[in-house]
Chains A and B, each alone.
Chain A
Amino acid sequence: MREALEGSQAIARAVALAKPDVVAAYPITPQTHIVENISKLVADGNLHTEFVSVESEFSAASVVLGAAAAGARAYTASASQGVMLMSEVMFNIAGLRVPLVMTIANRAVGGPLSIWNDQSDSMAVRDSGWIQLHCISNQEAVDTTLQAFRIAQETDLPVAVCMDGFVLTHTMEVIDLPDQETVDAFLPEFEFARALDPAAPKSMGTLVDPNYFPEVRHSHHAAMGKALAKIEEIDAEFEKVTGRASGGLLTVEGPKKAKVGIIGMGSVVGTMMAGREHYKKEIGDARIIKLRSYRPFPAKALRDAVKGLDKLVVIDRAISPGLGGVLGTEVSAVLSTLTKAPKVYNYALGLGGRDIPETTYRDLLQTIEDKDAPRFAVLDADLDKLPPEDR
């Protein structure tokens, strides 16, 4: 059914369709709306779940860990400082291979305090071992949330669905929510083979010494590799039942003969697609690559996607001070095995919620026309605002 919904509200409805047994969350803008909406669904009797209103993000992550380990479908949501507080538990959830789903409503990490959108939070837990899927619209976030529950239980890996805070979470969009029968047919009941059960006791999270630890990490890495195919397969199945795909690992838009490409994650990709429509006649037609699966990283699909490009702009919505862009660095590494790799220009944009208008498409293409264009820059930083020594 098509309805005009705010992003957070749409996610709450999608989570309800997945019938979670346990939901735990702590208020932290902008994901707060999601759990507020879930609470309302519970209060109105439209969702039967154990809603645990915890005393911190740390406990939110711990509660869903315990719930999923005990065999329950579990969900949480967080953002920004909350993700940072959860991070120790997030590593633990993944390391114990506990399948559950969380929404990260992407937001900057302080200090100084910024409540606005960028992707520093999910980037900070990049190495936690979670699957990380990025969405460019609320429809995609709804669909990806439903897919995430299935990916989690088919891979024994936790899945983070990343959506840009405010830009998506607080934006009204017409959403096509699948009906309950469709979701039930797509998403089977939760099953976790290693679930805690008094009739067949298992010990989980034991002390693992150096004789076994590298094997634990190797198998986790291998499982992430196998998840690549699962993510595509489940997206394809979702398309079968709803007529709508979310873009597998990554999708490519634009002409095959394009010489310039732009890659990014999240809502900025939508902005680039719109910018392309506006400015392609004026400045040229670029290939837009929408990276959906950030972890596992689709190296092969990316190498295929850049074929024929001379230049590739990588947009980062986070920064690793002292290095530059993280996605940019990773893309460069992955493309380094190509004999004819495009030249990579890595730009951090929209840090701490600085608006990224459609004109950015034009500005990016203009910037890289210059043969002395920087290979990395915080492109929208206004240096005049800084004292001379900091420029």
Chain B
Amino acid sequence: MPQGSDNSKRLSELRMKHGRPPASPSEPTAERTETLREAQPRFRGLESGHRACQGCGEALAARLVMESAGPDVMVANATGCLEVFTTPWPQSAWRVPWIHSLFENSAAVASGMESAMKAKGKNTKVLSFGGDGGTYDIGFQALSGMLERHHNVLYVTYDNEAYMNTGIQRSSSTPHAATTTTSPAGKERMGKRHLKKDLLSIIAAHHIPYAASASVAYPADLQRKVRYAMGVEGPTFLVIHSPCPLGWRHDSALTIEVARRAVQCGLFPLVELDRGALTNIMPIREPRPVSDYLELQGRFSHLFNKKDYRAQEELDHLQALADHNIEIYGLRGEGVDPVDTTGMSHVKRGGPLAGRN
């Protein structure tokens, strides 16, 4: 490991290698043309060999984020699966400076790290990671404070829609009607009674330079968003839909398919916001019915009980929520689709789904 005065030399080598020129705080990076090298990053900030479950959406998302963010970063990580499966002492899967403090303070710890960088005149970008529990719920206040104080931090929330590390308990990000261990279905209940918190709108209300949603099913889009956020001076926010095969009860091989259908039905819209204003969406020209997404997951299996009249009601409710997203974000798009997605919901893919629509 390079030490002492070699550090800065090594760092500048790393920067050049990964396409980030020696940065100075005043240097605008957002308008710089992207090099081909930057578009194909290969830096492995999160190494393989960690202990995530098969098909873990969060592990994939974190790897994609780290690839795009590059080596000149430091990470504050909230308590959760990502922290636990990457760092069983004395091992660590992280190749960047990384700190975990508590469940609810990753945004505040990151604020401190960023302040230290400012005080020291360094330009290392600080990333703050949390799951949906650590972001939508318990770490929400620290996040809001960080955004309001305009720290130069990219906050990434890996949204798997429940407290997976503690055994699949409902969070305020859990979708309506999904079952978890604290929102089970039964005679009196049809899973979670409340709506998934619209976090992105709350983030947007902070009028930060950049906020976006992404999905592990669309890695190129996800990485473009990370790279864009890395170039912004100020607080940026990314929520990444990351299926959890264990908690959502779907086949580990279907992580990408499940994530893709969430986008294609409109339940998880991929959008970008600039100071609170919608600037970009990923259009879905032919939205799929929400049942295409829900039927793959055990957490929604009670919605497919033909004998239960409540099941159809909840399906209709979820469809209405998807339709609402499609409406307010204009997900059907306008004009010619830059990405030809026509008929993509009808493409037969390999694996256990082959033969199904």
The interface of chain A, by Cβ under 8 A from chain B, is 21-22, 24, 49-50, 52-56, 58-59, 62-72, 74, 88-89, 92, 96, 196-209, 212
Contact = CB atoms under 8 A, between A and B. Distances in A.
Contact of B3 (A50, A70, A200, A205): A200
Interface in B156-201: none
A203 B76 CA distance: 10
Task: Specify which of B1, B8, B14, B112 lies most central, judged by the most chain A CB atoms within 10 Å of its CB.
Answer: B112
A72 B120 contact: yes
B319 interface: no
A22 B87 contact: no
A194 to B, nearest CB: 10
Nearest to B118: A50
Given A70-B117, A72-B116, A199-B2, A92 B101 contact: yes
Nearest to A24: B112
Nearest to A55: B145
18 contacts: A22-B119, A50-B119, A56-B145, A58-B105, A65-B112, A66-B76, A66-B101, A72-B112, A74-B116, A89-B101, A196-B74, A196-B98, A198-B74, A201-B94, A204-B97, A206-B89, A209-B88, A209-B89
Contacts of A53: 149
Given A89-B101, A200-B1, A212-B89, A64 B144 contact: no
| Contact count band on B | 35 or more
A277 B198 CA distance: 68
B112 A22 contact: yes
Contacts of B278: none
A250 B148 CA distance: 45
Contact of A71 (B6, B10, B109, B120): B120
A212 B141 CA distance: 33
B101 A96 contact: yes
A74 B120 CA distance: 12
B108 A50 contact: no
B92 interface: yes
Contacts of A198: 11, 14, 71-74, 96-97, 124
Nearest to A49: B119
A209 B3 CA distance: 29
B110 interface: yes
Contacts of B117: 70
A21 B114 CA distance: 11
From B73, B92, B113, name the one whose CB has the most chain A CB atoms within 10 angstroms.
B113
Nearest to A208: B89
A209 B88 CA distance: 7
Interface in B89-103: 89-90, 92, 94-102
B90 A62 contact: no
Contacts of A72: 112, 115-116, 119-120
B296 interface: no
Nearest to A204: B99
B272 interface: no
Contact of B112 (A55, A62, A201, A205): A62
Contacts of A202: 97-98
A198 B117 CA distance: 12
B105 A50 contact: no
Task: Name the residue in B2, B98, B116 with the highest tally of chain A Cβ atoms < 10 Å from its Cβ.
Answer: B116
A70 B8 CA distance: 15
A50 B118 CA distance: 8
Interface of B: 1-3, 6-8, 10-11, 14, 71-74, 76, 83-84, 87-90, 92, 94-102, 104-105, 108-120, 124, 141-142, 144-145, 148-149
A69 B98 contact: no
Given A59-B105, A59-B145, A201 B111 contact: no
B7 A200 contact: yes
A126 B6 CA distance: 41
A212 B97 CA distance: 22
Contacts of A69: 99, 109, 112-113
B11 A55 contact: no
A65 B111 CA distance: 10
Contacts of A92: 101-102
B142 A52 contact: no
Given A54-B145, A65-B101, A207 B112 contact: no
A49 B118 CA distance: 9
Contacts of A55: 141-142, 144-145, 148
B210 to A, nearest CB: 21
Given A55-B144, A199-B2, A204 B105 contact: no
Nearest to A73: B119
Contacts of B144: 55
A125 B1 CA distance: 38
Contacts of A203: 87, 92, 94, 97-99
Nearest to B7: A199
Given A66-B112, A70-B112, A70-B116, A89 B102 contact: yes
Contact of A206 (B1, B88, B105): B88
Contact of A89 (B72, B105, B113): B105
A22 B109 CA distance: 12
A58 B104 CA distance: 9
Contacts of B102: 62, 88-89, 92
Contacts of A197: 7, 97
B149 A62 contact: no
Between A52, A68, A206, A208, the greatest number of chain B beta carbons within 10 A of the residue's beta carbon is seen for A206
Nearest to B109: A66
Contacts of A74: 112, 116
B145 A207 contact: no
Contacts of B98: 196, 201-204
Given A67-B113, A89-B105, A212-B89, A207 B83 contact: yes
Nearest to A203: B92
Contact of A67 (B7, B89, B115): B115
